[in-house]
Amino acid sequence: MSSDAAGATPHLPPDQTPAGAHASPAFQLAQASRALWAATLSLMTAFMQNQAPAHRLLIARRISRNLDTLARQDCFDTGCRATFARLATRWHARSEQLSPDGERPRRGLLQLFS
Amino acid making up residue 91: W
Q: How many domains does the chain have?
A: 1
CA distances for 23 relative to 18, 29, 89, angstroms: 10, 10, 33
Contact between residue 76 and residue 84 where contact means Cβ atoms under 8 Å apart: yes
Task: Evaluate whether residue 40 is within a structural domain.
Answer: yes
Block means of pLDDT (10 residues each) for the chain, length 114 residues? 43 52 84 96 97 95 97 95 97 94 58 52
13 occurs within a structural domain: no
Domain that holds residue 46: 28-99
0.75 cut: is pTM over it?
no
Residue 110 · residue 66 · CB < 8 Å: no
